[in-house]
Amino acid sequence: MSTPTKDRPIGVPDIRARKGGQPLVCLTAYTAPIAKLLDPHVDLLLVGDSLAMVVYGMDSTLGVSLDMMIAHGKAVTRSARHACVVVDLPFGSYEESPEQAYRAAARVLAETGCAAVKLEGGVALALTIRFLAERNIPVLAHIGLTPQSVNAFGGFRVQGRGEEEAARVMADAKAIEEAGAFAVVIEGVPEPLGRAITEAIDIPTIGIGASPACDGQILVTDDMLGLFSDFTPKFVKRFASLGASVEQAVQSYAAEVTARRFPGPEHCFGTAKPKGAA
């Protein structure tokens, strides 16, 4: 667990300085109430485009718009006092050119107040990352299994298996480091490759289905809490089963409403107190 900073929130330089140190604790957040609950305990809150599936019931992240990311980014930054908040750039908002990426990223930072943006891609996006970094827009990169490329990958499949694929992912890591990313998320790669990348580059690696050797770990909060059960990736550990608790609570509520046991007198205005009440 991270130690809360009382005088200021964790910033990009703090994340960058954690290379090889105490592991970074990272989770996703999409709403103000969840951000407030997570904030004291984590180093980084990611407003991820995974909200497509978790919040909106989409099949992939491809349907998320920039306006959606900004709306959720605002909600999270309003409640975060400690953690570094990073917002995903959605599919189609940055791939066309560095200039397009700059316009999208500048709007996200200006309208949400977040600390940085995240984008997916390695060698192919190195020029864009450099363009942003040179214009004071901090970039968290994302390599390996990149969900916005699900169609090109032919589904959600592990990346970096075999020497050729592993060399490609390693090249991506080195390219984004050289371009100026302050850290990188490594998703869905064989453990030895996640470990090798962490040892090979000088910026923090944040693993999700990568390796315990990474400089930090991230999970989708709803997966970790057992709130999202449409599918469970191999790399997810459920630390709670809140979905079952919610369902049980709703069943109890429905039973009491149906039986007219709720609301009771204590929940109503202008009713007489029960006999014997103080």
Active site residues: 187
99 is known to lie in a ligand binding site: no
**Measured distance CA(91)–CA(60) in Å, rounded:** 11
50 is known to lie in a ligand binding site: yes
As beta bridge partners, residue 219 has 27
Pairing of strands 139-144, 84-88: unpaired
- Structure-derived torsion over alpha carbons of residues 258, 261, 267, 273, reported in degrees to the nearest 10: 150
211 is known to lie in a ligand binding site: no
What is the residue whose two structure tokens read 């509520």? 253
**Measured distance CA(48)–CA(118) in Å, rounded:** 9
Binding residues for 3-methyl-2-oxobutanoate: 49-50, 88, 118
Binding residues: 49-50, 88, 118, 120
Binding residues for Mg(2+): 49, 88, 120
